[in-house]
Chains A and B, each alone.
Chain A
Amino acid sequence: MTTFTKITTASMIALGLGAAASADELTLYTALEEEEIAAYIEAAQKAMPDTEINVLRLSTGKLGARILAEAGNPQADVIWGWAVSAMMDPQILEMLEPYEAKGVDVLPAKFRADDGKWFAPIGYMGAFCVNTARLEEKGLPMPKSWKDLENPAFKDEILMPDPNSSGTGYLHVNAVLQSMGEEAGWAQLEAIDPNMAQYTSSGSKPCKSARVGEYTVGVSVALTAMQSISEGYPLAMVFPEGGVGYELEASGLMASSDNKDAAKAFLDWTMSDEAIGLYQQYKSLITIPGVDASEAAEKAGLPADISTVLADIDFVEAAQNQTAVKATWKEKLGR
């Protein structure tokens, strides 16, 4: 048998299987975390018993590449829980259709699009991951702000994601620039640069390297920090004074969806009381007014009133300046 007969036969089989499974299917593309996805989908599936919900999970950057590559013939019905700064890319917005999900009107205006293309009831935040064992061993002071990282004692002890390859990297750079102002912000980033051991391509890697004691400070995401702390790593989660960057996890309806009823039903579900109840178990950042974050998050060192540690972020401006800021970063700090 030649390869080609084989390929044809196999694809026929695969095709047959595919055709048999399509009753009422809904395909979600998401960058949410594995654990929460499992819980949300279990509940959503119960609420929508006639629809088979399929989920593809990829990290923020890879999901973006996938969606853009598929732009000619999009496969997803809904983009669910994806970084809003990525969502606001004009190439992506073009693929979305405005939809006002039920209950979305409780969200403050800055957490949803004016034209209704996306809304974000949840989000995640950045944090410094500080390895306390290594901190002690090296006799370093606990850093409390970006300024503290200027201390020459931290030379080659800090990791941070590169904003040109990581959304988390841009989250931090943007927060520093927006909270300190352009000029002071760039000066701050340049002052830390000599201490920076590496700019990584992944947003969670600085925390993962810090927790196993390769470096002392990883500028990274709070979720990885909280998880590492609960696993028992000697790690402290620090929110820099003056405000830490955060990112909204936005959802939107794909204009190309051929199952819009189910897609809309799912988007409605993400704003339902049931969904909000689950957010309180898993999310550190909930943008719905009057809804507190999870207890677990509090245990890991998150303040009860989270707004006290968040930087004041303008997401529209952040999205608009993105290209220019990344280019400037590359010019000033790129290695």
Chain B
Amino acid sequence: MSTTEQAVAPSRKQFDSDRLLTLACVGLPLLGLVLFFLYPMLIVFLRSVTVDDGYGLGNYTQVLGSVGFWRATWHSLVMGGATTLLSVFLGFIIAHGLYRCAFPGKWIIRAVIVLPLLAPSLVQALGLIFLLGRNGVISRALGVEIEIYGFWGLLIANTLYALPQAVMIIGAALVLLDARIYEAADVMGASPARQFRDLTLPAARFGILNAAFVCFTITITDFGNAAVIGGDYSVLATEIYSQVVGQRNFNMGAVVGIMLLLPTVISYAIERQAMKRQRSGQATGQVPFRPHFAPLRDTLMASLALLICAGIVAVIGIVVYASFVTLWPYNMALSTKHYDITLAGGYSSLRMTIVISVMAATGGTLAVFLLGLGLRRLPGTVAQPIQLLAAMPAAVPGMVLGLAYILTFNSTATPLYLLYGTATLIAIINFYHYHTQSFLTLMTGFRQLPQALEEAAGSLGAGLRRTATDIVAPFIAPMLVSVFFFLFMRSMVTLSAVVFLTTPDLSVAAVTIMRLDDAGLTSQAAAFSTCVMAVVCAALLGMKATLALIGRRNRTKGTA
């Protein structure tokens, strides 16, 4: 047992109930991961080794022997690397601007940067084509035809999607830095550049590496962007689509799905190795950092961040605008006719989607919080494999996860069959699809939590439950909120995993959008997307206002 465990054990009874609680904290989320991630993936693995006459590696040799696979692999790795570099670089600039610099209007950046998360994938794709396509606004204005389809278009689209997640994770590392170290550095005459190099960067290293891991993983598994703007730049996710959807060849699709786990495991191992020497936790009695205005640094940071935000707004804004246009790009008269949606179930799926998203966000935030809390109290040898498992789900393309869920839960062999066709299963798949990002954001936050604080609480007689609710939760609250919002937003719009789980009476907004677009009604699909975005924004503002109210009440209570 760790030293923490001994320190928080003033009496035998306390010790035992704490151990039990730790077990429950890790056990419940772990059980979820095993049932809803590991078990379905095991079924996929079995499919990948299924050949005509039983089991064998025939599918693997066939995939490994094809030229297309190696080309797609190379493309995926190059694209993953390029997107990771760009997203982490830009994400660091924005997170640094938000938490380490002083300039007005940060709320705009905070609001805009999450837009790509709450926009249905169709919006981003349409937006880029309307702006930068061969007949796009910018191409026409400049009088040249930009060739957006292919590497560069895909890089932009992937970066737009990865960037908010990079900001979220790097932000979790930067938001909790202690002001006193910087004061000390000031007193000792360290220049701002030196402070950045020797204080900020090392402290953010955990967040940067986690963000890089997430960006890389989600990029190599993404299918939507590759299909729309990737042109002929084939990647592994499009290989899976062509095997499963085009040729109804599950076993080969499963092989590529399993192969996609490899780069993820390797990059996770590299990341862990790089983290080894990093000290964890901060000193106690933190003073929150309040940045002072430094003209050169802050104007530069603010303009860079605003420039990126302008790009995001343009991409999404043009689709919102186009949803009000009679016939983009040939009849630009404004009209609301696309909002009269009767096909594909009309607006009826919206409410169910909100219920599902709240379920996924609430259950999910709680689960990763308990897992993070419990993992701190486990010895490294036990914690490491669990951490790897918790970081893996992002490596599975949504389509593979969705099909795995059908194969697993549409079998009367286990009582889990009861979940098949329910909203609950959709909430569950949404959470596990985005488990990695949620988990790593919280772990980055936990990393900043002073160990001494928990130890002190323990020696004062607080059990794990008390420590969790009174010490850890308030400290980690900003991360809990961003994880909750992240899960909520993604659940509202994610398509790839969910498309295979909807039933005749249970549809979600993203599927309605896909059906409208399938039916050729792209403008109606854009209009429906605009409505979804409006609902998500309203829900988010509502939740923020509630949180602010609660926060204020707690503060007044505290001072009274």
Q: Which residues of A contact B (CB under 8 A)?
A: 2-4, 6-7, 10-11, 14-15, 18, 21, 27, 33-35, 38, 54-59, 61-62, 64-66, 68-70, 72-73, 75, 86, 89, 91-92, 133-134, 162-167, 197-202, 204, 207-208, 212-215, 223-224, 227-228, 231-234, 323, 326, 330, 334-335
Contact = CB atoms under 8 A, between A and B. Distances in A.
A234 B411 contact: no
A65 B232 CA distance: 23
B423 A223 contact: no
- Most chain A CB within 10 A, of B227, B245, B329, B428, is at B245
B478 to A, nearest CB: 22
Interface string B227-241: 100011010001001
Contacts of A228: 520
Given A68-B248, A208-B520, A57 B500 contact: no
A7 to B, nearest CB: 6
- Most chain B CB within 10 A, of A10, A134, A166, A334, is at A10
A234 B418 CA distance: 51
A167 B242 CA distance: 11
Contact of A11 (B411, B422, B499, B503): B422
B52 interface: no
Nearest to A2: B28
A228 B28 CA distance: 52
B232 A201 contact: no
B196 interface: no
Given A64-B248, A72-B411, A202-B227, A54 B403 contact: no
A334 B242 CA distance: 12
Contact of A201 (B227, B248, B327, B364): B227
Q: Is the interface of B mostly helix, strand, loop or mixed?
A: helix
B406 A66 contact: yes
B53 interface: no
A261 B326 CA distance: 47
A138 B130 CA distance: 20
A14 B330 contact: no
Contacts of A199: 232
Given A65-B248, A213-B329, A198 B231 contact: yes
A19 to B, nearest CB: 11
A11 B359 CA distance: 12
Given A10-B359, A162-B246, A165-B242, A212 B424 contact: no
A34 B246 CA distance: 21
Given A10-B424, A56-B502, A72-B411, 7 more contacts: A10-B427, A61-B246, A133-B330, A165-B238, A197-B231, A204-B520, A212-B328
9 contacts: A3-B366, A7-B424, A21-B505, A38-B343, A56-B502, A62-B499, A73-B410, A75-B410, A165-B246
A6 B519 contact: no
A3 B27 CA distance: 12
A2 B366 contact: yes
A64 B241 CA distance: 12
Interface string B316-341: 00000000001111110000000000
B417 to A, nearest CB: 8
B363 interface: yes
> Which A-B residue pairs are the 3 nearest by beta carbons?
A54-B504, A165-B246, A213-B135
Given A59-B518, A214-B133, A233-B327, A3 B248 contact: no
Nearest to B412: A73
A207 to B, nearest CB: 8
B404 to A, nearest CB: 9
Given A3-B32, A15-B418, A69 B403 contact: yes
B32 A73 contact: no
B115 interface: no
Interface of B: 28-29, 31-32, 68, 129, 133-135, 149, 227, 231-232, 234, 238, 241-242, 244-248, 250, 326-331, 343-344, 359, 362-364, 366-367, 403, 406-407, 410-412, 417-419, 421-425, 427-428, 499-500, 502-505, 515-516, 518-520, 522
Contacts of B502: 56
Contacts of B29: 3
Contact of B246 (A15, A72, A133, A201): A201
Contacts of B499: 58, 62
Nearest to B148: A214
A72 to B, nearest CB: 5
A56 B344 CA distance: 10
Given A214-B133, A232-B327, A65 B411 contact: no
Contact of B250 (A54, A68, A335): A68
Contacts of A70: 406, 410
A332 to B, nearest CB: 12
Nearest to B407: A69
A163 B327 CA distance: 30
A57 B515 contact: yes
B505 to A, nearest CB: 6
Contacts of A207: 520
Nearest to B253: A65
Nearest to B500: A66
Contacts of A56: 502-504
B504 A65 contact: no
B359 A69 contact: no
A11 B418 contact: yes
Nearest to B133: A214
Nearest to A131: B135
